[in-house]
């Protein structure tokens, strides 16, 4: 008879001990939520201030758009070639924030996406709210499960839809370089979100609404399929010395890591997590019940799944 791997973990005492006191509070997820709330609060302050003082006609350091790293990427070509000018709706601060973003991506992969991005945080909130409702509204969980089952045939498209964000990246950056303005801005849910106080109806607002509705059923749909900034951080993440390592020798194959991953990655199937879509949220590390089964490692950049 094959030994129960979970029983083996209990006998060897390798399950993580229950944390108490301040250690129980200071998990990766607690720190991540504090970081996300802090960034969201800062951006909300800028949105309100920018609307009140009426500086919507130009991007200044009081504008939320001045702190978008993707704006820096879109304007970088024009700034380098002209040395003085930027594409519309961008500022020198966009380039500065872009540089900081690139440094973070090189060392910590897509940590910006998982720990700081306000749009990612908003999608997380909607998904958490969906889970809350499913536990308390009779029949809702069953209805959503039935709907997802009917759409299971589309799941085969998931791996192909994830390439869409790279096409969006090429189109938005290439268009800005060729035409001298942000061709992606009108369709950008982030631009719609920071301009929501202006009550303007744009294609970006439609994309934002679709993204939030989809977040009731799929975690981080924008991040998975369409975010060009996530595409950049994912590509740079391949060069990062930081990665997740799964030790198959002690892993119990409980699949909690895969079940909790907001990006839908099959973490239990790989030994090294270097997937381009990983947002470095570390939810899988926190939920893993076994010591040493899943850990953050720092070493030479490697290519893996």
Q: Identify whether residues 111 and 199 lie together within a single domain.
A: yes
We report the CATH number of the domain holding residue 298 as 3.30.70.20
Enclosing domain of residue 175? 31-235
Number of domains in the chain: 2
CA dihedral sign, ordered 143, 287, 212, 165: negative
Residue 162 has a pLDDT of 94
Residue 204, pLDDT > 80, answer yes
> Is residue 136 located within the same domain as residue 37?
yes
Kindly report the pTM of this predicted structure: 0.84
Give the model's pLDDT for residue 303: 46
pLDDT at 228: 95
Residue 176 has a pLDDT of 82
β 242-246/272-273 pair status: antiparallel
Q: How many Å is the Cα radius of gyration of the chain?
A: 21
Say which range, 146-155, 165-174, 184-193, 271-280, has the weakest mean pLDDT: 146-155
What is the helix (H) or strand (E) element at residue 89, kind and residue range?
none
Q: How confident is the model at residue 301 (pLDDT cuts 50, 70, 90)?
A: low
Residue range 13-32: mean pLDDT, rounded? 69
Indicate whether 305 pLDDT > 50: no
The reported pLDDT for the residue numbered 17 is 58
Residue 11 placed within a domain: no
Confidence of residue 84 (pLDDT cuts 50, 70, 90): low
Query: For position 9, what pLDDT does the model report?
Result: 47
- Chosen domain end from 235, 253, 278: 235
3-state SS class at 208: helix
Both 166 and 103 in a single domain?
A: yes
Most confidently modeled range among 16-30, 49-63, 197-211: 197-211
Cα–Cα dist 230/220, whole Å: 11
Q: What is the pLDDT of residues 238-292, one digit of tens each?
A: 899 999 999 999 999 999 999 999 999 999 999 999 899 999 999 999 999 998 8
Mean pLDDT of 67-85: 72
pLDDT at 202: 84
The reply to whether 278 and 203 lie within a common domain is no
On average, the pLDDT of the chain sits at: 82
Indicate if 205 and 295 belong to the same structural domain: no
- The answer on 224 and 84 residing in a single domain is yes
For 163, phi and psi rounded to 5 degrees? -80, -10
pLDDT computed for residue 115 by the predictor: 96
In a domain, 15, yes or no: no
pLDDT score of 21 more than 70? no
Q: What is the pLDDT of residues 107-118, one digit of tens each?
A: 999 999 999 999
């Amino acid at each position: 008879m094959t030994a129960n791997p979970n029983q083996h973990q209990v006998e060897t005492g390798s399950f993580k001990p229950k944390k108490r006191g301040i250690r129980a509070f200071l998990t990766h997820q607690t720190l991540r939520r504090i970081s996300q709330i802090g960034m969201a609060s800062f951006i909300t302050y800028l949105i309100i201030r920018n609307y009140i003082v009426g500086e919507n006609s130009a991007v200044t350091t009081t504008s939320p758009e001045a702190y978008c790293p993707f704006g820096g990427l879109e304007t970088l070509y024009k700034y380098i070639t002209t040395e003085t000018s930027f594409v519309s709706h961008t500022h020198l601060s966009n380039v500065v924030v872009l540089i900081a973003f690139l440094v973070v991506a090189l060392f910590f992969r897509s940590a910006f996406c998982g720990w700081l991005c306000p749009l990612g945080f908003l999608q997380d909130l909607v998904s958490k709210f969906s889970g809350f409702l499913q536990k308390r509204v009779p029949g809702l969980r069953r209805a959503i499960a039935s709907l997802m089952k009917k759409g299971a045939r589309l799941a085969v498209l998931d791996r192909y839809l994830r390439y869409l964000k790279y096409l969006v990246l090429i189109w938005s950056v290439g268009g800005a370089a060729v035409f001298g303005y942000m061709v992606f801005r009108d369709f950008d849910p982030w631009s719609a979100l920071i301009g929501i106080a202006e009550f303007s109806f744009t294609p970006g607002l439609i994309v934002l609404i679709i993204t939030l509705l989809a977040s009731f059923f799929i975690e981080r749909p924008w991040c998975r399929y369409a975010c060009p900034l996530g595409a950049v951080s994912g590509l740079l993440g391949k060069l990062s010395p930081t990665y997740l390592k799964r030790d198959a020798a002690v892993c119990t194959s409980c699949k909690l890591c895969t079940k909790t991953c907001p990006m839908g990655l099959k973490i239990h199937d790989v030994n090294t997590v270097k997937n381009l879509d990983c947002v470095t949220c570390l939810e899988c590390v926190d939920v893993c019940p076994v010591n040493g089964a899943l850990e953050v490692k720092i070493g030479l950049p490697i290519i893996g799944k």
